[in-house]
Amino acid sequence: MAEYKRERRSDTASWDAGEVRRAEAPQKKKRRRRRRMNPILYILMVLLCSALLAGVGWLLMSDLCAFNRGGIVEKTVEINADDDMGDVADKLKAQGLVNYDWFFEIFATVTKAEEKIGIGTYTLNTDMDYRALILGMRSTSGNMKAETVKVTIPEGYTVEQIIKLLAKNGVASEKDLLEAAKTADFKYSFIDNESEDLSRLEGYLFPDTYEFYVNTKKPSSALDKLISTFNNRVEALDEELWDAAKAKGYDMEDIIVIASLIEKETDGTDHAKISSVIYNRLSDDGGHGTYKMLNIDAALLYALPAGTTSLTNADKEMDSPYNLYKYQGLPPTAIANPGLASIKAALSPEETGYYYYALGTDGRHHYSSTLSEHNAFLASGNYGG
């Protein structure tokens, strides 16, 4: 019996110790839950986070709304067909039009700007907010998702040849491009918007490689791109050259006409020499026997049906202002679209005493100062015809 009681006491002691431990455990946990952050520190952290968020938010909203840009400054941005919205954002930031390219990219993605922005060169300014920037890069011809095609316009192509080339590459139908060339209004003073003749654009469609929308909704925009490039290239030329031409009595239209003649006549190496012959003849009152007659085949060929490559004696009797065997001075319009080398040569001819040239069997032009020298070359067997 005594042994039984000992066992029970032992059990009781064991139970009591366990109860004490279980009773203490919740109290310890309870004491841990009562620990709190210092309320002042908590408030300071909340205020700091709020200030940071407010500051970042203000900076982003200021950029979005174009606040505090420090005055209006115009910038040019070129969007290419292979650009994505990240590229557009990078270009805008590089020009100082946005401060946060990543935020503009998010805004543009949310607002589906890729359906509005089109390829092209745009003049924007630092006063434009994000929405205005997107609208400023809007194209009626297509958007960043539209299919495009690259087309190289050769130097010396006529307006008609350029239109056929654009149509062949799917830019628009030949009919629509012809209609635009004849009737569309272009914002440049050197384009005669009152005329409905293709020749009004002759000389002003700059030869280069371009990217166009396929099946563009606005064919005139394709032509405008070439005219815009011409305008930019001409404006970039030395102003002193234009002043010198003006002093001689030649305006920009005259220079482009002369450049087109050079383009069609040059063998590819002698732009400035051809230019010198043209100017020498234009200033000759008879002392050198040319009497301001240019006698340039290419001008008369321009007036003849497309595909004509050589002249007959009957052609040279044709009554046309492009017949420079019959009429003195320059033709009424350019006869092709010249490249930059020909335009520069028209502005800065080489100083020579040449009044005649003829193509030799070597594929190069041979120049003469007198008619007798010229005739001697034609009879020499070296004349290429």
**DSSP per residue, 28-92:** HHHHHHT----HHHHHHHHHHHHHHHHHHHHHHHHHHHT-S--S--EEEEEE-TT--HHHHHHHH
Residue 213's beta-bridge partner residues? 148
**Residue 79: what residue type?**
I
C-alpha distances (whole Å) from 335 to each of 24, 199, 204 are: 106, 8, 11
Is the distance from CB of 109 to CB of 85 less than 8 angstroms?
yes
Q: Name the 3-class secondary structure at 150.
A: strand
What is residue 5's predicted lDDT score, i.e. its pLDDT?
A: 46
Is the distance from CB of 288 to CB of 367 less than 8 angstroms?
no
**Residue 25: what residue type?**
A
| Number of residues assigned to the chain | 385
What is residue 6's predicted lDDT score, i.e. its pLDDT?
A: 46
Would you identify the CATH topology of the domain 70-136?
Answer: Dna Ligase; domain 1 (3.30.1490)
Give the separation between CA 340 and CA 348, rounded to whole angstroms. Answer: 12
- How many other CB atoms are there within 10 angstroms of residue 27's CB atom? 8
Give pLDDT tens digits for 70-92: 678 899 898 887 788 999 999 99
What is the full per-residue pLDDT of the chain (385 aa) written as tens digits?
A: 444 444 444 554 454 555 545 555 555 455 555 566 677 776 767 667 776 676 666 777 878 887 776 678 899 898 887 788 999 999 999 999 998 898 899 988 999 888 888 888 889 999 999 999 999 998 777 777 788 899 999 999 999 999 999 999 999 999 999 999 999 999 999 999 999 999 999 999 999 999 999 998 889 999 999 999 999 999 999 999 999 999 999 999 999 999 999 999 999 999 999 999 999 999 998 889 899 999 999 999 999 998 898 999 999 999 999 999 999 999 999 999 999 999 999 999 999 999 999 999 999 999 999 999 999 999 998 998 7
Give pLDDT tens digits for 37-48: 677 776 767 667
What is residue 87's predicted lDDT score, i.e. its pLDDT?
A: 92
Domain positions in the chain are 70-136, 148-235, 249-378
Q: Name the 3-class secondary structure at 284.
A: coil
Percent pLDDT > 90 in the chain is 63
| Tokens 């220079």 belong to residue | 255
Tokens of 2: 């005594």
Q: What b/e string do you get for 196-224 counting C-beta neighbours within 10 Å, with b at 16 or more?
A: eeebbbbbbbbbbebebbebbebbbbbbb
Q: What b/e string do you get for 132-154 counting C-beta neighbours within 10 Å, with b at 16 or more?
A: ebbeebebebbbbebebeebebe
